[in-house]
């Protein structure tokens, strides 16, 4: 399904530079923890697999992210480009969060993204593993929101 909205550059086909920009834009949106904002990057009929959940459409994405960020408190995410080709981007990521009891976690994962011609993501496949960590082992300490440009990325942090 094509989207009636204005295109969301960068548009496919992606090269390393445009794909890295798309990855950072996604990271910034997810770090906003605003489900409505995040959902607008996807086609109206976008298909997701997130861990063991299967979603279709923006409203399902909004509902999913609302539940996610109610549980995953003080969420901070770093994404890094892994590979790109034509209209597809592969990403690796890690994010830190804590639950209501104060237990911290670092979640590690990989995503495969497929975009339509207008730059909207039409497919997202995510595999994620959570590792409990001590608060002292956290690596993400910026204020909630966008990761500062001078904060190390995954490779620099050894993740």
Query: pLDDT digits over 62-83, tens only?
Result: 999 999 999 999 999 999 999 9
pTM for the model stands at 0.95
Q: In the prediction, which pLDDT does 136 show? A: 98
Does 1 map to a domain? Answer: no
User: Does residue 149 belong to any structural domain of this protein?
Assistant: no
Tell me, yes or no, whether 159 lies in a domain. no
Q: What does the alpha-carbon distance between residue 65 and residue 72 come to, in Å, rounded to a whole number?
A: 10
User: In this predicted structure, what is the pLDDT of residue 70?
Assistant: 98
Indicate the number of domains in the chain. 1
Cα 109 versus chain centre, distance: 10
d(CA 142, CA 27): 14
Domain enclosing residue 39, as ranges: 16-137
* pLDDT over threshold 80, residue 26: yes
Q: Considering the domain boundaries, does residue 155 fall inside one?
A: no
CATH code of residue 112: 3.10.450.50
């Amino acid at each position: 399904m094509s989207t009636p909205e204005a295109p969301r550059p960068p548009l496919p086909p992606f090269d390393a530079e445009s794909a890295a920009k798309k990855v950072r834009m996604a990271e910034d949106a997810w770090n906003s923890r605003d489900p409505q904002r995040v959902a607008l990057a996807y086609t109206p009929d976008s298909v997701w697999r997130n861990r063991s959940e299967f979603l279709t459409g923006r409203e399902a994405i909004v509902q999913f992210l609302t539940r996610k960020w109610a549980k995953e408190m003080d969420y901070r995410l770093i994404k890094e480009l892994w590979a790109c080709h034509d209209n597809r981007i592969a990403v690796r990521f890690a994010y830190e969060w804590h639950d209501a009891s104060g237990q911290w976690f670092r979640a590690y994962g990989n995503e495969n993204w497929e975009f339509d011609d207008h730059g909207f993501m039409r497919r997202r496949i995510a595999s994620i593993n959570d590792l409990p960590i001590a608060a002292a082992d956290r690596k993400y300490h910026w204020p909630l929101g966008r990761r500062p440009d001078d904060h190390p990325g995954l490779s620099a942090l050894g993740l």
